[in-house]
Structure 1
Amino acid sequence: MSTTLTSLQSRPNRQRAQLSVLVGIRAVEAAVQGGARIGHVIGTETAFNAPRFRQLDLPDVPRYIADTDTLDKLAPVASAQGLLATVRISLHNAASVLERATTALLLDGVQDPGNVGTLIRTAAWFGVDAVVAGAQTAGLFHPSVLRAGMGGHWDVALARHDDLSETVALARRAGMTCYGADMGGTPVQYWHPVQPSLLIVGSEAHGLSAARLDAIDEPVSVSGSADHPATESLNVAVASGIVMHRWTVAAP
């Protein structure tokens, strides 16, 4: 049991097992509500006896009791919050996802798990249909990405496709207009997006590459105050959230 939980901190092991780790009752609740398949749960007696856990419909899911110290050692984060669970990974085929989506977010080299999870959470909040991870992007089911996603994983279609040029080509074949977040783009307040469309978000450090900018139909930016000499840029998840709001609300 402990070997399974600790091994799932590695992406190859998660891919082989098709499992990842949920931390805490809120994460387990969200997964159950979203129809995810729970493999097993390990928690303290207190966690299992709490009303929130007892209300979950998990009659056939194996349970294992452990003390707090043991759980914290097994957890992929600092604290297990009294409860850990394995959950079945659900990744879709990128081509199929793009054919069905009205809006799809493409992550190009977003490496920080917290940012990736927040982007998934934000996409879900604004009703984006799909999130596709490209090369050098953190694993969508990394435990820290799941934690930051706050349930968003179960409300959007998730896919991975490491060839970004081919992903854009797939989107175009599906009839999508392709946008990209870039500091030199159209200010978001003057942007008039159409759907179906793909929005590409680049890495935290470098943004979109020149090749990626050449491949899109229009770049879009979030401008700030002119008086911020010490502040380099917005966090990628914050900037993308502003763009996603405009994208999903303003498009006809």
Structure 2
Amino acid sequence: MLTIGEFAGVTGLSVKALRHYDDKGALSPADVSHPGGHRRYDEAQVRAGVLVKTLRDAGVPLPTVAAAVANGTAMEELQAHRRDVLRAREAEDAAFDRACAVLRALSVPVEVVEREMPAQAYVGRVLTLDPDGADPVVGDDEANVAFGELFERVQGAGLGPAGMFWTAMREGERGAVDLVCCWPTLARAGADWHEGDTIVGELPSRRELTAIWRASSADLPDGAVHPALVALFDRIGDRRMDMGGFEVRQSVVSAAGRDAAVEVSVTLAPHE
């Protein structure tokens, strides 16, 4: 039989690792002397020791290693572990690429201006975000469906639309956040529009703070916080403004001969 030091020398495992594997039941010695507790290994255990070291060096989890050695499935477990590693690596690469795209977008200068805006009637569809965070983001598909349905109704009623749509985020009930998909209308819609998740409102004549993003959004990952929103809150923070209960509005503005711009706004002061 081999002492623990001899077994370590033959298999390439450290004495510390062998003691750990014994404690975990992954590779136990053939004999432990009493008194003293000296571990001794059978020569036939060398193969198991080499398999344990080989699989652990490849990153296979210890419980899986123990099962593989016991069941004679070392190659199968190694291949399964490799598939898991490749999936994890692919996910990490995708996360890295996404992070790079977000950081590049955040480095693009954003114009932030104050401007006077006239009153604007609108109709909107309310999509409530989960207050518990189980479903924190309303998907683009859901918002697009809401915009499409609302557009058809506004057009059918002869109310416009009177311009480009916008989305607004506002505080909802019981800690929820509402995303409101809005179309500007030529006139204020009647009370009969207030049904279900459809609302009628009017943005008052106001002074607002607006961040304008004129770069291409093609490389901005889906679900990423828009750089214009970040720039707007940078300015709000610089001014030490208290924006509790605020409403943030985001719109896409097209201009002839120019790329579409994303505008994100908050009201500074409504006009009487």
Pairwise TM-score range, normalised by the shorter structure? under 0.3
Q: TM-score, normalised by structure 1?
A: 0.21
Q: Which has the larger radius of gyration?
A: 2
Higher strand share: 2
Q: TM-score, normalised by structure 2?
A: 0.20
